[in-house]
Amino acid sequence: MTSLYHRVAGGSLERLSALNDGVFAIVLTLLVLDLHVPAEKVIHRQRPLWSDGSLSSERELWHLLGEVGPNLLTYLMSFLTLGMFYVGCQTLFNHLRGSDRNFTWLQLTFLLGVSLLPFTTALLAKFITFRIAVALYWLNLLALGLLLLALVRYARRAGLLDTERTPGFQRAFERRIAIPQVLYAAAFALCVVNTYVSIALVVLLQLNSAIAPNIRPLNRF
C-alpha cells in the first residue's frame, strides 16, 4: 500500500505549477509591504514639539528618501532575484512530461527557500552595512540556485524531462544557473570591502541576466 502511494503521490504537475505561482505571488507581495517612509521618526527627531509634523522643504523630503534607501535597494535586488527564479521554474515546468513524489518534495523545498527571502531581505535592509546580513542573504540565494539545479537533474534522471522538445536543454539550464551563482559569490565576497559595492554589483548582474543585452561576454549566461 505504501509503495503504491509513493508511486501515485505528487503526480499532478498542474497543481504543483499552481502552487509555485501562488507562493511566488505571495512572496513578491510580502517584499513590497516592507517599504514605508519613516516620516514620523524623522519628523519627531528634527521638529520641535509644537510643529504639526508636515514637510516644509525639499531637503526634508530628500532626507526621508535617504532613510528608505536601503529598503528600496534590497527590494529591487530581491524582486529581480524572485523574477529570475520564477522564470527558471516556469522554463523547467514547460519542459517536463510530468511529476512524481520526489520531484514534488524537491519543489516544496525550493519554495521554502523562496518563502525565506522576505526575512533575509528585511534583515539585509535593516543591517545593510553588516557582513553577516549580506552572508545570510547570499546563502538564501545560493540555496535557491542549488535546489533549482537539483530539480532539473532529478527530472532528467527520473525521466520527467522532455529532452526531445529542446535538445541540450539540461546543459543550457544548468549553465544558466551555475555561471550566475559563481558571479554572485564573487560579488558578495566584495562585502569585505564595502557591502554597498557588493549589493550594487549583484543588482547589475541581475539586470544583465533579466535584460540579456546583446553584448559579449555579458550575454553568455
1 in helix, strand or coil? coil
- Residue 143: what pLDDT? 95
- The 10s digit of each residue's pLDDT in 6-56 is 555 555 788 999 999 999 999 999 998 877 766 554 444 555 433 445 656
Tell me if 6 is assigned to some domain: no
Tell me if 3 is assigned to some domain: no
Tell me if 2 is assigned to some domain: no
The reply to whether the predicted model has a pTM over 0.85 is no
State the pLDDT confidence band at 78, using cuts at 50, 70 and 90.
very high
Nearest to 141, CA basis, from 204, 84, 61: 84
CA separation (Å) from 188 to 25, 91, 162, 197, 218? 27, 27, 35, 9, 19
Tally of domains within the chain: 1
Task: Say whether pLDDT at 85 is over 60.
Answer: yes
State the pLDDT confidence band at 111, using cuts at 50, 70 and 90.
very high
Q: Look at 62-66, 115-119, 155-159 and tell me which has the smallest mean pLDDT.
A: 62-66
* Type of residue found at 99: S
- The 10s digit of each residue's pLDDT in 185-219 is 999 989 888 888 899 898 888 888 777 655 555 45
> Mean pLDDT, the chain, as a whole number?
82
Tell me if 5 is assigned to some domain: no
- Residue 163: what pLDDT? 74
Omega within 30 of 0 (cis) for the link into 167: no
Please work out, in degrees rounded to the nearest 5, the angle formed at the alpha carbon of residue 182 by the alpha carbons of 91 and 121.
75
- The 10s digit of each residue's pLDDT in 157-194 is 988 888 777 778 888 888 888 888 898 899 998 988 88
Tell me if 216 is assigned to some domain: yes
Average pLDDT over residues 75-104: 91
Q: Which domain holds residue 106?
A: 12-220
